[in-house]
C-alpha cells in the first residue's frame, strides 16, 4: 500500500481515515496582520475538537515562511492523535514581504529548501536563520500559490522550484487559487514542468462556484478542494452542497476533497472566535450525508485523499 508522509512518519494511505484536506495549524502572514495564530496549546485544543468531529487526518497547507513550527506541529499530532500532513513550498506572492529571501533566492536555493523539507525534515526555524536545523519531521506535500486571474512572474519561479521538487521526490502538489481563478493556467504551467494534473489539488475552487468549470478541471485529472466550508461571508454552504451534488451525479467524487482553510485567529474556537476548524465534521458532513449518502461521503473523505496525497513510487516521474 502506498504511503503518505505525515509529521510523525509515513502512514499507509488506507490508514489515514477521514481527511480534512486544507487547514493551517499555525499561520502568520502580512496579508492578515494581527490575525496570526502560533500558540501550540490553542492549536491542540482546536484540533482536539476536529478529532472529536470524526476527522482522523488533517493536511496543514502552511508553506515556507508563514509561521511553520515543525516540532510543535508534531506535538499537536501526538496530543490529538490526528495524522498531520505538513507542507513545504511557496504561497502566492502577497504573503511575502518585499525583503523576504524567497523573493530573491536563486532557483537552486528555492529548490534545495523544498527538497530538505521533504527528504530530511522541515527546518526548525522555518528557514528564518542562515543555517538550517532539520527537525526530522518531513513535509508531505508541496504548496504553491497563484494570484487573482494569473500566475505572477515571482510565482512562476516558485512553480518551477515546486514542480522540480515534485518530480524528484514524488510528493503531491496543492495550489492556492485566488477566488478559484486561473485554474487551467495553473494546470498548464505545472504540466509544462512535468507535473501532470492528476497529481495536483486545486484549493479554493468553491470560491468560484461554476459547475461546468469544475467538471472540466476534473476531466483533466485534477482534484478539487472545496475548502471554504462554514465561511458564510463567501456564500451559504448550500451552494457547496449543490456543487458536490453535481460532481456526485457525474460519478467523480473521487476527484474532490474538503476542508475549512481557516486562516485567521478570529475564526478559531480556541481563540474565542468561530466557526472553528471542526465545523466541517460538526455541521457540514451531516448535511452532506443527507445529500449524497454515506458512500459518497466516504469517497470524498477517504478515497480521494488516499489517491491525491500519496507520494508516487519512483519519485522520478
Ligand atoms: Zn490555506
The pLDDT of residue 316? 45
Residue 317: predicted pLDDT: 40
Which pLDDT does position 21 carry in this prediction? 98
Nearest CA among 179, 236, 259, 184 for reference residue 214: 184
From ligand 1's centre to the CA of 223, what distance in Å?
16
C-alpha cell read off for 139: 513535509
Around ion ligand 1, residues with a beta carbon closer than 5 Å are 61, 261
What's residue 313's pLDDT?
58
Residue 284 is given by DSSP the state: I
Q: Give the Cα separation of 97 and 31 in Å (integer).
A: 10
Using a CB cutoff of 8 Å and minimum separation of 24, what contacts does 125-129 make?
126/64, 126/65, 126/66, 126/67, 126/68, 126/69, 126/70, 127/64, 127/65, 127/101, 128/65
What pLDDT score was predicted for residue 282?
Answer: 98
Instruction: Give 305 Cα–ligand 1 centroid separation in angstroms.
Output: 16
How far does the centroid of ligand 1 lie from the alpha carbon of residue 60, in Å?
8
pLDDT reported for residue 311: 83
Angle at alpha carbon of residue 111, lines to 108 and 116, rounded to 5° = 120
Look at residue 130 in the predicted model and tell me its pLDDT.
75
Radius of gyration of the chain (CA): 18
Q: Ligand 1 centre and the CA of 93: distance in Å? A: 14
**Tell me, what's the pLDDT at 306?**
97
Residues of the chain whose pLDDT is less than 50? 315-317
Q: How far is the CA of 22 from the centre of ligand 1 (A)?
A: 6
Locate the DSSP E strands across the chain: 3-6, 9-12, 19-23, 57-60, 83-90, 141-145, 173-176, 200-203, 223-226, 256-258
What b/e sequence results for 263-284 when a residue is b if at least 16 CB atoms lie within 10 Å of its CB, and e otherwise?
Answer: bbbebbbbbeeebbbbbbbbbb
Q: What is the whole-number distance in angstroms between the Cα of residue 143 and the centre of ligand 1?
A: 9
Amino acid at each position: 500500500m502506498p504511503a503518505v508522509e505525515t509529521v510523525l512518519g509515513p502512514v499507509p494511505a488506507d490508514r489515514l481515515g477521514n481527511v480534512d484536506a486544507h487547514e493551517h495549524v499555525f499561520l502568520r502572514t502580512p496579508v492578515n496582520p494581527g490575525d496570526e495564530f502560533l500558540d501550540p496549546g490553542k492549536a491542540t485544543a482546536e484540533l482536539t475538537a476536529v478529532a472529536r468531529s470524526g476527522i482522523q487526518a488533517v493536511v496543514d497547507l502552511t508553506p515556507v515562511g508563514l509561521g511553520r513550527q515543525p516540532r510543535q506541529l508534531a506535538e499537536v499530532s501526538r496530543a490529538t492523535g490526528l495524522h498531520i500532513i505538513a507542507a513545504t513550498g511557496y504561497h502566492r506572492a502577497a504573503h511575502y514581504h518585499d525583503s523576504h529571501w524567497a523573493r530573491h533566492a536563486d532557483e537552486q536555493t528555492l529548490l534545495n529548501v523544498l527538497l530538505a523539507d521533504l527528504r530530511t525534515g522541515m527546518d526548525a526555524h522555518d528557514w528564518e536563520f542562515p543555517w538550517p536545523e532539520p527537525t526530522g519531521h518531513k513535509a508531505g506535500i508541496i504548496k504553491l500559490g497563484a494570484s487573482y486571474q494569473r500566475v505572477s512572474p515571482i510565482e512562476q519561479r516558485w512553480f518551477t522550484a515546486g514542480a522540480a521538487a515534485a518530480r524528484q521526490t514524488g510528493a503531491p502538489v496543492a495550489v492556492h487559487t485566488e477566488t478559484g481563478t486561473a485554474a487551467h493556467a495553473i494546470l498548464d504551467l505545472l504540466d509544462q514542468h512535468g507535473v501532470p494534473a492528476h497529481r495536483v489539488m486545486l484549493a479554493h475552487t468553491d470560491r468560484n462556484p461554476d459547475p461546468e468549470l469544475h467538471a472540466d478541471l476534473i476531466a483533466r485529472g485534477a482534484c478539487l478542494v472545496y475548502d471554504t466550508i462554514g465561511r458564510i461571508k463567501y456564500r451559504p454552504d448550500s451552494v457547496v452542497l449543490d456543487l458536490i451534488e453535481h460532481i456526485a451525479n457525474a460519478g467523480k467524487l473521487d476527484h474532490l476533497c474538503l476542508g475549512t482553510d481557516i486562516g485567521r485567529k478570529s475564526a478559531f474556537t480556541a481563540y474565542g472566535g468561530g466557526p472553528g476548524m471542526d465545523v466541517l465534521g460538526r455541521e457540514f458532513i451531516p448535511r452532506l450525508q443527507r445529500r449524497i449518502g454515506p458512500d459518497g461521503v466516504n469517497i470524498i473523505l477517504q478515497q480521494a485523499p488516499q489517491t491525491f496525497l500519496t507520494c508516487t513510487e519512483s519519485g522520478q516521474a
